[in-house]
């Protein structure tokens, strides 16, 4: 068994990582702070701070113009991706909460990107099934209810352009994926990870970024 090269992520080291990433914009910083203040019990649902600059980087790297986000919460990841879009690009953001996404709407307006975001309040599987068929999506960010990941995947992959990128959060599920006795979200993520690994439609890699981040490229 080989040993990891990952150092323990102490608070000091995490602060160092954040300090050496691109800084959050004022709108991003305000949104993070507002989320933790207003929704303290649910703030863990927010995309990790270091993933905001990562998503911006990936949008610019891929030249994505058509993005689908499954799971918006208060809109930090949405804001990050929208800020990196070229003119004419859009994010279709899927969520079920008017309360949470209302915080995002205010932040998007403040950042001047609200016209790039198409927020759809409905069960995400219904939104995805109503999307046009055929390849047209350039980038996906999936960060929603873990039990539906496989269903979301099967709706999204056929709609991805060749070379399109799927970014999936929480694929280590708090480190619980290796505990075969755990059900719930851990079991759902194990099933999802196995499904992705066996899917010959994509090339994929699972990274130890935040709570586990899988990148998959449509072949």
Under a CB-based contact definition with an 8 Å cutoff, are residues 67 and 92 in contact?
A: yes
Model confidence over 116-144: pLDDT tens digits? 999 999 999 999 999 999 999 999 999 99
pLDDT range class, residue 185, cuts 50, 70, 90: very high
Could you tell me the sign of the dihedral formed by the alpha carbons of 148, 118, 24, 63, in that order?
Answer: positive
Give the Cα separation of 165 and 48 in Å (integer).
Answer: 19
* Residue 186: other Cβ atoms inside 10 A: 20
Distance of CA 7 to the CA centre of its chain: 24
Q: How far is CA 54 from CA 18, 59, 90, 126, in A?
A: 11, 9, 18, 28
pLDDT range class, residue 160, cuts 50, 70, 90: very high
Does the structure show a pLDDT above 90 at 1?
no
Indicate the average pLDDT of the chain: 96
Give the Cα separation of 133 and 141 in Å (integer).
Answer: 18
Which residues 6+ apart lie within 8 Å of 205 measured at CB? Answer: 214, 215, 216
Does the structure show a pLDDT above 90 at 182?
no
Give the Cα separation of 160 and 136 in Å (integer).
Answer: 6
- % of residues, the chain, pLDDT over 90: 96
CATH annotation of 26-38+48-218: 3.40.50.150
For the entire predicted model, the pTM comes to 0.96
Tokens of 19: 């300090």
Distance of CA 186 to the CA centre of its chain: 18
């Amino acid at each position: 068994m080989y040993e990891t090269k990952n150092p323990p992520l102490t608070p000091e080291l995490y602060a160092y990582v954040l300090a050496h990433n691109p800084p959050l914009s004022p709108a991003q910083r305000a949104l993070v702070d507002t989320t933790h203040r207003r929704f303290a019990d649910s703030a863990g649902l927010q995309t990790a701070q270091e993933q905001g600059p990562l998503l911006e980087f990936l949008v610019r790297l891929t030249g994505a113009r058509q993005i689908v986000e499954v799971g918006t919460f208060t809109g930090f990841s949405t804001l990050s991706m929208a800020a990196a879009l070229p003119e004419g690009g859009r994010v279709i953001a899927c969520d079920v909460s008017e309360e949470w996404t209302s915080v995002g709407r205010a932040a998007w307006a403040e950042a001047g990107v609200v016209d790039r975001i198409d927020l759809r309040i409905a069960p995400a599987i219904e939104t995805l099934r109503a999307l046009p068929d055929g390849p047209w999506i350039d980038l996906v960010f999936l960060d929603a209810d873990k039990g539906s990941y496989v269903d979301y995947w099967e709706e999204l992959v056929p709609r991805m352009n060749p070379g399109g990128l799927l970014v999936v959060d929480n694929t280590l599920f708090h480190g619980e994926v290796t505990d075969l006795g755990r059900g719930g979200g851990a079991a759902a993520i194990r099933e999802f990870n196995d499904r992705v690994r066996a899917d010959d439609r994509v090339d994929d890699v699972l990274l130890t970024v935040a709570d586990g981040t899988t990148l998959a490229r449509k072949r």
